[in-house]
Structure 1
């Protein structure tokens, strides 16, 4: 794939319906991008892809550098990231980042954005999911048992996407970010954050979207895949 095109395997509504037993090797996902996020088989932990390196951030607080050839993902979104706009700025939480991205990309309301932030964060709150207790357990139930962690005065990287409203259910509409510390030892799905002064922000507007759906997957074929917008908003924070 070219730079700054979205590749996605499966859809968020499938996770909502508990479609997470099967998937594809993460190595296949990395053929399409070096920057992104997702989850792992049975929704065990949070995935972050930073410069083609893939990490699994688990509910117990540990982080594992995974082998993409042998590890399966039921859902992932990536891009071959090349920022088209960069900026140094202090960011006051999710609302502040939303305003900043709006100013950087005033004509991108109905487009995707890929975003990366590097710097020191005064405080950052994350959650990690422990995984399904049984096959086809939906994401709302999985995330009801999520673990939260708070890191203070920590240096690290935020990776993620802004998706337009019309893809809700296919992906997560709005901002969706994961975080990992500089030493790659802690991280998770971002709930809240504050920067400690200026951080480096790089972003790109994305216009091409490639979706691969699961094939020969009984769970996916039998899922209802009805939009559960409020449920998605609840679990994504």
Structure 2
């Protein structure tokens, strides 16, 4: 794939319906991108893809470096990231980042954005999902048992996407970010954050979207896949 094109395997509505027992090898995902987000089989932990390396952020707040040849994902979104815009700024929270990105890309309301932030953070609040207890357990039920962690005075990287409203259910509409510490020992799905002064921000607008749906997957074939917009907003924080 070319730079700054979205590749996605499966859809968020499938996770909402508990479709997570199978998937595709992460090595195949990396054929399409080196930067992104996702989860793992049975929704055990949060995935971050950074510089072509894959990390699993677990419910206890720890991080494991993943061998992509040996691990499967039921859902992932990646791109081959090449920034078109860079800046330095102090950012307080998701609302501050939303305002910053809108200012950097005023004509991208109905496009995708890919984002990376590197620097020091006063505080980062994250959550991580521990995984399904039973097959086809819904994402809402899985996330009801999620754990939260607060990291203070930490250096690290935020990776994520902004997706347009019309893809809700296919992906997560709005901003969706994961964090990993500089030492690759801590991380998770971002609930809140505050930078410690200016951080480096790199981003690009994307207009090419490639979606691959699971095949020969009984769970996916039988799932209702009805839009659960409020449920998605609740679990994504």
Q: Same fold (TM over 0.5)?
A: yes
Task: Give per-residue Cα distances to partners, 1:92-115, cap 9 Å, x unaligned.
Answer: 110000000000000000000000
What is residue 165 of structure 2 aligned with on the other side?
Answer: 165
**C-alpha separation between the residues in 2 aligned to 1:91 and 1:120?**
11
Q: Which runs of 4+ in 1 moved over 3 A?
A: none
Paired position in structure 2 for 1:69: 69
Give the 5 Å matches for 1:78-97.
78-97=78-97
Unmatched segments (≥5 aa) in structure 2: none
Following superposition, the deviation at residue 121 of structure 1 comes to: 0.4
Map 1:214-225 onto structure 2 (within 5 A).
214-225=214-225
* Corresponding residue number in structure 2 for 1:208: 208
- Kindly tell me the number of residue pairs found equivalent between the two proteins: 237
Distance of 1:161 and 1:94 partners within structure 2? 12
| Deviations 1:27-73, CA, capped at 9 Å, x for gaps | 00000000000000000000000000000000012110000001000
| 1:162-193 deviation line (CA, Å, top 9, x unaligned) | 00000000000000000000000000000000
Query: In 1, Cα distance between the equivalents of 2:93 and 2:153?
Result: 15
- Aligned CA-pair RMSD: 0.3
Match of 1:38 in 2: 38
Listed as ranges, the gaps of 5+ residues in structure 1 are: none
Partner of 2:147: 147
C-alpha distance in 2, partners of 1:168/1:85? 26
How much has 1:160 moved relative to structure 2?
A: 0.4
Q: How far does the alpha carbon of each residue in 1:172-230 deviate from its partner, in whole angstroms, 9 at most, with x for none?
A: 00000000000000000000000000000000000000000000000000000000000
Larger mean Cα displacement after TM superposition, 57-66 or 176-185: 57-66
**Residues 105-150 of structure 1, C-alpha deviation per residue, up to 9 Å, x if partnerless?**
0000000000000000000000000000000000000000000000
Corresponding position of 1:126: 126
- Larger deviation: 55-64 or 183-192? 55-64
Does the residue aligned with 1:88 lie in a helix, a strand or coil?
strand
Distance 1:35 1:138 in 2: 27
* TM-score after normalising by structure 2: 1.00
Quote the Cα distance in structure 2 between the aligned partners of 1:93 and 1:201. 14
**Which residue does 1:230 correspond to in 2?**
230
